[in-house]
Amino acid sequence: MIRVGIVGLGGMGEVHYRNYDKIEDAEVAAFVSTSTKGKEKAKELGLPHYGSIKEMVENEDIQVVDICTPNFLHKENVMEALNLGKHVIVEKPMALHKSDAEKMFALAEKKKLKLFVAHVLQFTKEMEILRGYVKSKELGRPLDGYFLRIAGKPGWSTDGWLFKKEKSGVIPFDLHIHDLDMIVSLFGKPKKYSYTSAGNEGIGYREQYRFTYSYEDLHVGAEAAWFDADFPFTQSWRIYFEKGLLVREKDGLILYEKNKGERKIDITDKVLVSTGINLPPTGMFYNELTHFLECIREGKESSIVTKDQVLTVIELLEEIVFGRQEKEI
């Protein structure tokens, strides 16, 4: 039995709790939260609550610390948990700066502990299928790709930290990171990239971005936005291969091939867990956490979310948020 301590009991902390509750040979032992709401939630769930990771580790028999705190606390929380001798799962982004992420990985290696980053879309059925087509070349090579992730401005950020780029990394690190992680895992580090952005003045961040990532013989576009409007969360992607077009939209996953019409592909998860947030029941968090715990049990690294992949994504986003508009790599 692997016993887990969850740090941060907001929306994502509860999502992780609900999924550990469904995983055999795993249980949540305790929570760390400094908010009144978090303390009340821990009491409601009937589990111990602590004010710090150190206090939790000193009082509970746990092997894994799962960090679901705001982005700007991730480095501090990860380093503390590793120094206390615990394996760590941390929500994306693990850091806003590549140098910080490298220090976190280096400490994990020094302590001979596992450190995993929760890029959850890697664990969807549609991503598994897309990965298979890219690797097998069954549809030929990819010719073009486009990823979309747009929504109205979030309303859940306590004290507005989400809208301060030095604390959250704003849209590129909170929203676009999901798509860039998929792009990098599928196609590697781009040879060059560029982007445009737009938004209202005086709010401290850009509200909409369009990105282009260029490879040897492939261009991948993406869009991400928090519109200051009552716009529903919308996500989609499409990859055009030599022998077909694979599209993920609201209606599911559809493959279009010449003279074959459309074919809907089943992307139903075997296990569905309610999230408690603005997401329908899904298996992606269950699949993700099950995978990470399996890696810990077997003492192996993840083949789905790799260290190099994580560092590449952070490097690119750091340049976009804190650096240049265009760069040839």
pLDDT values of the chain reduced to their tens digit, one per residue, 329 residues: 999 999 999 999 999 999 999 999 999 999 999 888 888 999 999 999 999 999 999 999 999 999 999 999 999 999 999 999 999 999 999 999 999 999 999 999 999 999 999 999 999 999 999 999 999 999 999 999 999 999 999 987 667 899 999 999 999 999 999 999 999 999 999 999 999 999 999 999 999 999 999 999 999 999 999 999 999 999 999 999 999 999 999 889 999 999 998 999 999 999 999 999 988 999 999 999 999 999 999 999 999 999 999 999 999 999 999 985 545 44
Identify whether 288 is part of a domain.
Answer: no
% helix / strand / coil in the chain, to the nearest 5?
A: 40, 30, 35
Identify whether 175 is part of a domain.
Answer: yes
Task: Indicate if 255 and 158 belong to the same structural domain.
Answer: yes
For 202, the domain range is 125-268+303-328
Cα–Cα distance between 323 and 329 in angstroms, integer?
14
Per-position b or e across 120-144, b if 16+ CB within 10 A of its CB: bbbbbbbbebbeebbeeeebeebee
Cβ atoms of residues 224 and 175 within 8 Å: yes
Cα–Cα distance between 201 and 181 in angstroms, integer?
29
266: tokens are 């089943």
Task: Indicate if 206 and 241 belong to the same structural domain.
Answer: yes
Residue 293, SS3?
Answer: helix
Cβ atoms of residues 167 and 74 within 8 Å: no
Of 77, 101, 119, the last residue of a domain is 119
Identify whether 276 is part of a domain.
Answer: no
pTM: 0.95
Task: Indicate if 115 and 62 belong to the same structural domain.
Answer: yes
How many distinct structural domains can be found in the chain? 2
Which helix (H) or strand (E) segment holds residue 144: the answer is strand 142-152
